[in-house]
Amino acid sequence: MFIYLDNAATTRVCPEAAQAALEVMTEGFGNPSSRYALGSAAAERLERDRAVVAAALGCLSEEVVFTSCGTEGDNWAIRAAVEHGRRKGKHIVTTAIEHAAVLEPIRALEREGYEVTWLRPDREGRISPQAVEDALRPDTVLVSMMLVNNELGTLLPVREAGEAIRRSGCPALLHTDAVQGFLKVPFTPAELGADLLTVSGHKVRAPKGVGALYIRKGLKLKPLLLGGGQERGLRPGTEPTAQIAALAAACAAWLPHREAYAAHMRAVKDRFLALAEERLSGAVVLSRGDAPHICALSLPGYPSEMLVRELGDRGICVSSGSACHRGKPSHVFAATGRPKRELMGALRVSFSPDSTAEEAEALVSALEEIRRARIPAGR
């Protein structure tokens, strides 16, 4: 038995994406910067693929710059935003439940003298729109807030943050890490009021090693790297054309079914949560998740790392939080202020369009088996 329910960590590459990557690697392998026919063909395909990703985002092609991953996009957006506002202030607003790709560069800026307001969530992992508005100041140069939390599945008030920035008149740029929201929840950067927005390919059935940064038209940013003139001089380095083709193919395959996929993932998730509440006495739902594909559950008294290991031995893949924690306690779950006993038994379960109700039922049955076989910690 093999059941994969850790799709917030990464997804299986879809056949369309794999085929597109293979075609580019074996046939259209030219360097887009080369001036002969093979290079020109690669450049033309690159721009077609950019248009597909832009259509999936709901923005202009010229607003999409390809990156190697979400972490690169987040780091670039944050560094470029504070550089853009360097003469206007040194205040940043973010949340305590961001991905490490946002937390760590902002902590580095804090060490460099920036003042940071860290917004904390309630027990459900929600950030108050009023808290965002109250945090804004005349010297705020960046608000960075993820669209969908990667461990709780909660939607954060990004749109409201954009509206608050405009009302306040402060010079802040709005960045959102939309890695978990892309193709899962409806949005466009313009609807959110985002100046900068990050996505990653391997969360939407493209391979690892490719992402994109939306940069609002007219916004002039410094590149994170220096080198050649690729990506209009914004992101130097030969473009990873195979990965980009795969990302475009994954977007094209997902987009026509977006609503159906979301409904399916939500139905499977709801089935899992209903069975867990019915059959796992004492289980605590930490978050039902606003996004269709993520929820969080705790089995107090049963350490999450033990549960992940025991489930893995049974061929079932879930996590105890973000893959980037590597076994360390989740700062996201801790920020909700729930009792330690609940936090120590936390599991994140995340679904894909390929997930089934039978897989959800198998996960609950496996958790029942593990609980019968083990004495809870603390007894």
**Residue of 59, 69, 170, 324 marked active site:** 324
User: What are the Cα distances from residue 206, in Å, to 210, 214, 223, 242, 302?
Assistant: 8, 18, 25, 11, 34
Q: How far apart, in Å, are the Cα atoms of 70 and each of 4, 22, 26, 90, 240?
A: 22, 23, 27, 24, 15
CA dist 61 and 48 (Å) reads 9
Measure Cα distances from 99 to 9, 156, 178, 223, 351 in Å.
Answer: 12, 13, 11, 22, 19
Q: How many residues does the chain have?
A: 379
Residue 59: active-site member: no
- Residue 361: how many other CB atoms lie within 10 Å: 15
Say which residue the tokens 């994170």 belong to.
224
- C-alpha angle with apex 75: 89 to 295, nearest 5 degrees? 110
**For residues 13 and 153, what is the distance between their CA atoms, to the nearest angstrom?**
22
In order, the DSSP letters of 7-20 are TTT--PPPHHHHHH
DSSP state of 231: G
Closest CA to 286 of 336, 329, 327, 248: 336
| Long-range CB contacts (within 8 A, 24+) of 195-199 | 195/81, 195/219, 196/77, 196/80, 196/81, 197/57, 198/67, 198/70, 198/73, 198/74, 198/77, 199/57, 199/70, 199/73
Q: Which residues are annotated as catalytic? A: 324
